[in-house]
Structure 1
Amino acid sequence: MNTNANELVQKLWNLCSLLREDGVTYHQYVAELAFVLFLKMAKETKREGQLPKGYRWDDLANREGMEQLQFYRELLLHLGTHGGKRVQDIYANATTSLRHPKNLNALVKALDSLDWYSVDRENLGDLYEGLLERNATEVKSGAGQYFTPRPLVDAIIAVVRPQPGESVQDPAAGTGGFLIAADRYVRAQTDNYFALEEKQQAFQRQKAFYGVELVPEARRLALMNMALHDMDGELILGDTLSPVGRDLPKADIIITNPPFGTKKGGGRPERDDFTFPTSNKQLAFLEHVYRGLTPGGRAAIVVPDNVLFEENVGQEIRADLMDKCDLHTVLRLPTGIFYAPGVKTNVLFFTRGEKDKGNTRAVWFYDMRTNVPAYGKRTPFLREHFADFEKAFGDDAYGKSRRKAQGAEGRFQKFSRDEIKTRGDNLDVLWLRDEGLGNSDGLPEPEVIAANIKEQLQVALEEIEALERIIIAPEGRP
């Protein structure tokens, strides 16, 4: 994003101060801004044809006082049932948090006064994405759970290398970051799709990118994000761990960062196509991903550490994964790069085999975590931190580049399938000696320590609950 665009994002973010009087939270502000901003950007990009006449930017901006607020409420209801499908999806069940007419009027006037011509029309979508990132980094908003850090998204896209004609799925789409980054990557390779034939262009804009999101507000933000990036792919409101996910078309590429934790109520996924039912959402999403690939399709999925070592069904799923797919790379991410402090995560890269047995011969591990200072507000995590990993990964999107192990003191190591099997299919592989790097005192950040304690307590509680379900009969008697 250029300097002018960054300045515009800052100005848009500062507008939230106008709404504090109405008790609007940061997260509500971004959703509220989405409703008004979409109207403004439709006018700026000359796309108002998708909006019904009488319910466009000028119709709102030319009113004031209580008349404007009442019209705004009517507009939200009307756009939820009229206009193009994407418009109806964005405004479905939309309501406003604004109570005072002066705050709506101030927001409209502020948007009207911004220098929209300082930003290229093609970059308007990036402005909204910048707002989503600001919302995710604001601890008070709680929106980080729907937003994967951009440096990580871009690094994953850079090694997976989506190509024109490939279908790309995100079964836990959040605010749409992976899908939009994949679209951006293909556009960069094809002169914004102009190098493609007309049918190929239509496929890229309408069919290539699709996904599922469980949370209505997150889906609304994702739809807005995609619309501003000129993407018309389908984004279903639903639960991937239900028949909705079972019925998704298989994809050439699946890239996702599923939600962490157990399924609500401790229940198992409602999928009759799963061989290994579990209440662990990450394990269930992992099974969805490798089952949802076309033969030869490739995937990258962000998972917490427990997916690497959990026993019983966890071991069975990992073994099945390594049978059906070539699990060629595991990237161990540093702590502190997600907006929940101390979360320990990894990225699994794999390719679905043409057959269902013996596809993984060896797994390469890249350790970005050991002996790395904890990232956070004092040490921001940037795109360039992935440079060495991308070089080690190589130019082949299927992990087939000629690779070189870096020795006992290096970060890139290879382990054969037999070696992993002797470990009980445990992928929690460590070889570097931890020097205990953290802050200047040699300790992790306090929030990292607290998060680790919380994580251990959560795991213990889940194990106790699982044990209770086994010991206590349905009637409540042992």
Structure 2
Amino acid sequence: MGTGRGSAGSASMSGMSGIPPQGGQLERHWTAESIVRRWWEFYNYKTSIRALTKIEFAEHIAYLLFLKLDHERANRPGKFASRPVAPSIDTWPHLVERGGEDLHSYLARTMRTLGTPTPDNQRRTTASVLFHDAQPWNIDRMSELRQLITEEINPYRWAQVPDGELGRAFAQLLSDCYDDMLKKRQTGQFLTPPPLLAVVAKALALTPDDRIIDPACGIGSTLIAAHREMESHGTKVDDSAIAGADIDPQMCRLATMNVLLNTRRLFAGIPPIQRSDSLSRKVRAIQRQDRDVAATVALCNPPFKSTDAAVDTTHRDDFWAPKADLPTNFLQHIAITLPQGARAAVFAPDSVLFGTGAAATVRRNLLLNCDVHTLLRLPTGIFRGTNAKANILFFTKSAPRPSGEPATRALWVYDARTGNHRTDTGNPLTEDDLSDFLAAYRPDDPDHSSRTPSRQFKPYPVADLLARPSASLELWADLTENQQDLGSPRDIAASIVAELNSASSSFQAVVDSLAPGQ
């Protein structure tokens, strides 16, 4: 199947998706919607779905696009050509001509070469993140992989796809893998709605001069939103402007390709993502591999996992509360490691705002050492498949005051939650839904002196906050506190089922770890 270019199968798929076969400059007219529709049509009609998850399919799209684009750029005419990142300029043609076990072994060898960082080849540092531990899909399904290569990737000139469309297509591909993401609930992975991230990037008043970090970047959506906001100023954004890290190799590889395609970065440039456990060492929020660039902004939606110690923080003598849960640890890690004057927007579940013990210690120190100026209470239902109640804390790292006064003067609370439940199918969150928040926040007023209270926006003096039991930040504006919309009975039931499935998996892992007779 799919033994050559321009086969009947390829023409048929082109007609279904609305993308014409290669011919001259036709790729310049492709849209993100038509591209991603084509990919999913191949997945649904040409692959053995039970043998390949959606997220595994998305990973292979990333591998093949990287190799194909690398080949196209190496074969541009004259001075426009770039040295290939792949082992040779013929890596892609050799891949195209193979099938069966030969294809499997050749692709596995190529992945292994690119996934192994070498000090003498700095041009492969980005590739080493993308291809780390990468493997071709099942050797018994090589005919399907060959079809994907010869019919869906090789016949087209992907470098000619309009700026932004290929990146948007890949981001949508990842978004469509949401069910697979939910299976990673034990690691706390959630997909953040892009419209929300766009609003947060605007609230942070990002400019091309900023340096943005995310120490728990997931698939890189926060960094892409930040990059787009910086680009909106009409000035070129430097490759060192964004940097992310994640402990999950799969998230790192998906984030790497997501950022590469959405920011038009060079494949041989500075890696946008690094594999690391951000919480395990006393270092800056993220260290660059080429040079140390001080971050000016942190934008992070950390894992919302609150049970079981996820990392060893015994070496974090800088932590205010080393035995905190995962989201609280990320909050204090960012607050402690950011340079003075840096801004931050950190997502936090409700438990971080009013939990006792370690959470209370972190809140108190946060108010004392940072200007925690804004709390945005988010609508329920924005994280599909969960009943998580989320918030965003906006703060600025401040220098200690000789007088001992708290760095925070007043915390403004914007309540976008009360009576506001969202779903990504019926009534998804849009940027317009948060336009009132953005207007009240006043990104153009860094001192927040021109803010005015309203029914949804209310300031709390820091003295009152520190006087509250455990310095609780369970705060509301002037809306009725008990009007919480938790969603429809179906939404609640689905969330309960997801939690039970997650608990069942955890108990099964315990059972599997016990020796017979224990």
TM-score bin (small chain): 0.7 to 0.9
Residues 456-467 of structure 1 aligned to structure 2 (within 5 Å) = none
Counterpart Cα distance in 2 of 1:234 and 1:5: 23
The equivalent position to 2:58 in structure 1, one of 9, 15, 30, is: 30
Q: Distance in 1 between matches of 2:257 and 2:282?
A: 22
Deviation at 1:362, TM superposition (A): 0.7
The match for 2:409 is 361
Question: Distance between the aligned counterparts of 1:266 and 1:121, measured in 2?
Answer: 39
C-alpha displacement at 1:54, in angstroms?
A: 4.9
Alignment of 1:158 onto 2:202:
yes
**TM-aligned CA deviation for residue 115 of structure 1:** 7.7
Among 133, 146, 149, which residue is 1:105 paired with?
A: 146
Can you list the C-alpha shifts for 1:75-108, whole angstroms capped at 9, x where unaligned?
2223224762212221122111232221011111
CA deviation after TM superposition for structure 1 residue 233, in Å: 4.4
Cα pair 2:201 2:226 within 8 Å, conserved: yes
- Structure 2 distance, partners of 1:244, 1:266, is 17
1:244-255 equivalences in 2 (<5 Å): 245=283, 248=286, 251-255=295-299
Give the C-alpha shift of residue 332 in structure 1: 0.4
**Separation in 2, partners of 1:222, 1:34:** 10
Question: Which string of whole-angstrom CA distances, capped at 9 and with x for unpartnered residues, describes residues 121-179 of structure 1?
Answer: 45433322221222236677658925322112111111112223322111101111112
Query: 1:260: how far off?
Result: 1.3
After superposition, give the CA deviation of every residue in 1:329-385 in whole Å (9 maximum; x if it has no partner).
000001111134211000000011132542111111111110113424222222222
Q: What is the CA deviation profile of residues 256-288 of structure 1, one whole-angstrom value per residue up to 9, with x for unaligned ones?
A: 011112364477623121122123111111111
Partner of 1:79: 114
The equivalent position to 1:325 in structure 2, one of 370, 375, 380, is: 370
CA distance in 2, matches of 1:25, 1:244: 37
Whole-angstrom distance in 2 between the partners of 1:45 and 1:285 = 39
Counterpart in 1 of 2:443? 395
Q: Tell me which amino acid in the other structure corresponds to 2:241.
A: A
Q: Which runs of 5+ in 1 are unaligned?
A: 194-203, 460-478
- Name the % identity: 28
- From 171, 174, 191, the equivalent of 1:129 is 171
Look up the match of 1:427: 473
CA distance in 1, matches of 2:273, 2:168: 19
1:95 corresponds, among 135, 146, 154, to 135
Q: Does 1:51 align with 2:81?
A: no
User: Shift of the alpha carbon at 1:297?
Assistant: 0.8
Q: How many residues align?
A: 441
Quick one: which amino acid aligns to residue 107 of structure 2?
Answer: Y
Seen in structure 2, the aligned counterparts of structure 1 residues 60 and 266 have a Cα distance that, compared at 3 Å, is: closer
1:32 deviation in Å? 1.9
Task: Read off the aligned partner of 2:475 and give its amino acid letter.
Answer: V
- Identify the residue that residue 25 of structure 2 maps to in structure 1: none
SS of aligned partner of 1:169: strand
Determine the C-alpha separation between the residues in 2 that align with 1:137 and 1:155: 25
Select between 423-432 and 397-406 the one with higher mean Cα deviation: 397-406
| Residues 277, 21 of structure 1: alpha-carbon distance in 2 compared, 3 angstrom cutoff | closer
Encode CA deviations 1:289-316: one digit per residue, 9 max, x unaligned: 1112211110000010011101232222
RMSD over aligned Cα atoms: 3.1
Residue 413 of structure 1: aligned partner: 458
Secondary structure of 1:84 counterpart: helix
Q: Which residue of 2 aligns with 1:283?
A: 328
Q: Deviations over 1:56-77 (max 9, x none)?
A: 3333223344433332223222
1:39 aligns with one of 67, 71, 74? 67
Aligned-partner Cα distance in 2 for 1:245–1:146: 26
Q: For the structure 1 residues 233 and 67, does the alpha-carbon distance in structure 2 shift closer, same or farther, using more than 3 Å as the test?
A: closer
Residue 138 of structure 2 aligns to a residue whose secondary structure is: coil
Measure, in 2, the Cα distance between the counterparts of 1:26 and 1:370: 35
More divergent stretch after superposition (279-288 vs 344-353): 279-288
User: Quick one: which amino acid aligns to residue 154 of structure 2?
Assistant: D
Q: CA deviation at 1:415?
A: 1.5
1:455–1:390 distance in 2 versus 1, CA, 3 Å: farther
Residue 45 of structure 1, CA deviation: 5.1
Task: Measure how far apart 1:238 and its partner are.
Answer: 1.8
Amino acid of the structure 2 residue aligned with 1:124: L
- How far 1:181 sits from its partner (Å)? 2.0
Cα distance in 2 for partners of 1:326, 1:190 equals 30
Distance change (3 Å), C-alpha of 1:154 and 1:267? closer
Question: Is 2:246–2:275's contact at 8 Å kept on the other side of the alignment?
Answer: yes
Q: Distance in 1 between matches of 2:445 and 2:272?
A: 25
Show the counterpart of 1:381. Answer: 429
- Hey, what's the Cα distance between the residues in 2 that align with 1:22 and 1:74? 26
**1:298 aligned partner:** 343
SS at match of 2:394: strand
CA distance in 2: counterparts of 1:422 and 1:450, whole angstroms: 39
TM-score of the superposition, structure 1-length normalised? Answer: 0.83
- Contact 2:324 2:359 (8 Å CA) reproduced: no
- Tell me, which stretches of 5 or more residues in structure 2 are unaligned? 1-28, 75-81, 288-293, 504-518
